[in-house]
Amino acid sequence: MLVLVCLNAFAPALAHDPGMSAATLLPAAHALEIELSVKAIDVETEGGIDLALSPEGTIDPAVLAARQAEVKAYLLERTEVSHAGGACTPATIELQAVEDGILAFIGYPCGLQDAGLRYATRLLHDLAEPTVQTVLVVQGEGSVSVALDNEHPGLLLGDPPGPATTFAVFFRSGIIHLFIGFDHIAFVVALVLWADRWWPVVKVVTAFTLAHSLTLALAAFRLVELPSALVEAVIALSVMLVALENFRSRDMSARASRAFLFGLVHGFGFASVLGAQAPGKDGLLLGILSFNLGVEAGQLLIVAAVMSILFTLDRVWLAATGRPGRPVLLVRGISALIACLGAFWLISRLAASV
């Protein structure tokens, strides 16, 4: 019965988080090539196209071939290329099914010789708020990484965004994806539920920050790579374990080491969201830094809110009962819910990887 309750309670939070896509732009003098990458389930949902997806969200290439006219129309409607003379009409578009995603290769007969060459996207804007599209612009030997969102949906290809714009967009993206990263939030909350002072919280948050910042950078520069299925499963396991520890011990002294250990794995999870490109790309370091700072800002906001609520409840408990401390039932109740969530994540992610 408990498992069923957990499944019903947390199913919405475990669904695929919509709003993420990626694009690689290759502008030349007389042409522009675009490679779009988007989740099949997002195309099906926003486009209203029945893609007969598997329970894991994968798409059959034969189904994509049968629905290609609808999918092409959907993608082209939400992809805009223009210049000073007006809109640019695509010359070619090809589709490819890749596990749970769809790749689209679009060719435009417009290039850098056309003044004001601009790329913009409305992909997934009707599905989620906010949306983020990670864009890599490749020109010659150099490249620029940038994130587009609902507020910044386009960029001039002859005049790529400056460092300030790149910083702002990636910083905002980091905040957004910390807030929708339910597993990361659950992990941190479970770690600090027994904290009765700020100092243990500071140590836990610092350890977690150092650890995931390290592996985020290593993964973004592709110095270390781990299978995403393994990373997601271990993240789910970490959520379950730290929540269960709250039933065994109230001691906060060892929590910082656990935060660091599991934080190393969580960093790989953040890296998959960042979608950083190959090492040495222009703007990559700034993108990593600003995205990570955004993650930290979101994390601090959540931790500050949680601890403020807990400390307020402590004062209410003291006034009502005359006993200092935190109600055991409160901590164990929240921990049980988090452990249940972690277990469900673990099972669902392992099942999806089989």
Extents of the domains making up the chain = 10-161, 177-353
Q: Which residues does the chain have with pLDDT short of 70?
A: 1-19, 128-130, 140-142, 159-162, 273-284, 354
Non-local CB neighbours of 196 within 8 Å, separated by 6+ positions: 314, 325, 326
Contact 90, 82 (CB under 8 A): no
What is the structure's pLDDT at 13?
41
Q: Hey, what are 224's tokens?
A: 């270390």
Give the H or E element holding residue 283. none
- The one-letter amino acid code at 165 reads T
What is the structure's pLDDT at 14?
42
Please state the pTM of the whole predicted model: 0.69
Q: Is 279 helix (H, G, I), strand (E, B) or coil?
A: coil
Q: Hey, what are 123's tokens?
A: 């992909």
What is the structure's pLDDT at 279?
34
Compute CA distances 90 → 77, 106, 144, 256, 313, whole Å: 11, 7, 23, 54, 60
What is the structure's pLDDT at 7?
39
Residue-wise pLDDT tens digits, 116-157: 899 999 998 887 666 778 888 887 666 777 778 888 888 888
Non-local CB neighbours of 87 within 8 Å, separated by 6+ positions: 80, 81
Q: 268, 229, 243, 247: which is closest to 185 by C-alpha?
A: 243
What is the structure's pLDDT at 10?
46
The label of the residue with tokens 């600003």 reads: 290
Contact 271, 213 (CB under 8 A): no
Compute CA distances 336 → 2, 3, 10, 190, whole Å: 10, 11, 13, 10
Q: Cα angle vertex 275, ends 270, 279, to 5°?
A: 105
Contact 133, 149 (CB under 8 A): yes
176 class by beta-carbon count within 10 Å (0-12 exposed, 13-18 middle, 19+ buried): buried
- Angstrom distance (rounded) from CA 177 to CA 294: 9
Give the pairing of strands 86-87 and 92-98.
unpaired
Q: 87, 77, 169, 173: which is closest to 125 by C-alpha?
A: 77
Q: Hey, what are 308's tokens?
A: 């403020």
Contact 135, 145 (CB under 8 A): yes
